[in-house]
Structures are given as C-alpha cells and as structure tokens.
Amino acid sequence: PWQKREISNFDYLMYLNTLAGRSYNDYMQYPVFPWVLADYHSKTLNLTNPHTFRDLSKPMGAQTVERKRKFIQRYNEVEKNLSARCHYCTHYSSAIIVASYLVRLEPFTQTFCSLQGGSFDVADRMFHSVKSTWESASRDNMSDVRELVPEFFYLPEFLTNANHFELGCMQDGTVLGDVQLPPWADGDPHKFILLHRQALESDYVSAHLHHWIDLIFGNKQHGSAAVEAVNTYHPYFYGDKMDLNNVKDPLIKSTILGFISNFGQIPKQV
C-alpha cells in the first residue's frame, strides 16, 4: 500500500517504528524519523529542487565528503580506548536526544533535567535552532549524528517556550526561548510544521525514503552492508545482538545497560 501511495510517508514510518519495537512510551526506543531537508537558510522552500533535500541514502555521519572520510578513518584506526570497530560511538536516537528536542514541553522538561542531573544543560548545548542543529548533526560535530523525532512533522507546540522555562543564556548573549526557525517558516511554528510535513510527503522523499529505511530498519543496519554504508555503531547499541544473559560479570553488564540507556539502541531489524 505504501508503494502505491495509499498511506502517507509519516504513517509508514510510524508503522515501521512500531514493528521495530519503538514506542512513545520508551524514551530509549522512541520512534525515529529522518532529517529530510538540507535547506534551512532560504526565504522560500523549493520542494521541486533535489538540492533542498538531505541525502537519504546516507546516514547523518556521511552527509558531507569530509565528514564521511573522518568516520571511515576512525573505523579503520580503531581508537585505542575502543574495543570495537565502529564508525559512531554516539547514536541517532537516545533518551537525551528525545528529551532535548522536546524540552519545552512537559513531561520532557522533567525527564531532560533528571537525565542531566537535576538542571538544564549549558545553554549553548540546548536545542535552540533548527538550522544549527542540522549543521551540527550533518557536518560540524563528530559526536552528533542525531536524527529527528516524529513531533517535527505534526506538533508546533514543542517549538515554543509557552511555559516560560528559564533555559539560560548563550555565550553570545542570546536568551533561550522559542526555537529559532528557518527563514522559510516566517517565525511561525505552524508554518514550519506544515512545510516540513509537505517535505516529508514530497515526491523526492517518497522516491528516496526506502534508502533511509534500509539504513535504520533494514539490511544496511549491521554487518558488511552497514560497513559499506558507513553505518556502524558501537556494539552495545545493538541490543538484540547482545545476549546479556551470557554476560556473567555484573559490572560489565551494568556498564552495557547504562550505555544503552544513555546512548540509545538500534531498532529491531524489520
């Protein structure tokens, strides 16, 4: 039905997330959605131009040639302190990523603070701008490969600080309040959600979404296909591949569980 366009891309992604054991009830296995756009600077959004979109055939760590090269280098070098070969030591979805995106809404505010040890994070590290978050996750920050949460496609409320939380002040003096939106949204969260959802349902994304699905839920999720796709994560992230019952050392076991709860988990393969 999806290929015939009888169900929307949004509904299909929710269906796959559910099949893979991901749910709104578990921050560690929250539904994961893709970044679909690469244009957060234009005054108007052109959904007929392929350059408007993110490359859905590549994970966030391989969106630029330079970044991809660095992650391949890391994989080949196997950093001394890592016992395992992988491209990424962080994950594209974790409890803290989910809570940081949705921090302006309860109960996520409380969750975020408890994960941070009781308070908000340093203002410069808080989610405050769609554009700078994209730049961090797609280009600038080697420890940031995060994808999105479904709310980016239907919930304008998470973009405004309606509860007037004191989120702090950035080094450049900017006081954190509402999330800064791309110019094409005209400062309107509803317009951002509307256009972002249109982008998700666009012809371009419909034609390329299956590549991203392969990376997250399908055959490029692990093994040699994942290595080739620059899409391998630390072994602890592959929860279902690790039989914790066989781990006898309680310290190692609690380390692995702590790792998964902090850094996220690969979905079950669909």
Assign 245 to helix, strand or coil: helix
* Phi, psi at 180, each rounded to 5°: -75, 130
Domains along the chain?
2-263 (1.10.1540.10)
Determine the straight-line distance between the first and last CA of the chain, rounded to whole angstroms.
17
Whether the CB-CB separation of 127 and 96 falls below 8 Å is answered with no
C-alpha–C-alpha distance, residues 62 and 64, integer Å? 6
Residue with tokens 């899409």: 231
Whether the CB-CB separation of 198 and 53 falls below 8 Å is answered with no
* Phi, psi at 166, each rounded to 5°: -85, 95
Q: What is the pLDDT of residue 258?
A: 75
Whether the CB-CB separation of 148 and 35 falls below 8 Å is answered with yes
How many residues in total does the chain contain?
270
Q: What is the pLDDT of residue 145?
A: 97
Q: What is the pLDDT of residue 73?
A: 92
Q: What is the pLDDT of residue 238?
A: 84
Residues 6+ apart with CB under 8 A from 157: 104, 105, 189
Mean pLDDT of successive 10-residue stretches along the chain, which has 270 residues: 87 96 94 98 97 98 97 83 79 94 96 90 92 97 96 98 94 94 98 98 96 96 94 83 74 76 81
Assign 53 to helix, strand or coil: strand
Q: What is the pLDDT of residue 79?
A: 59
What DSSP string describes 157-197?
GGGS-TT-----B-TTSPBP-SPBPPGGGTT-HHHHHHHHH
Q: Which of 240, 228, 229 is nearest to 266 (CA)?
A: 240
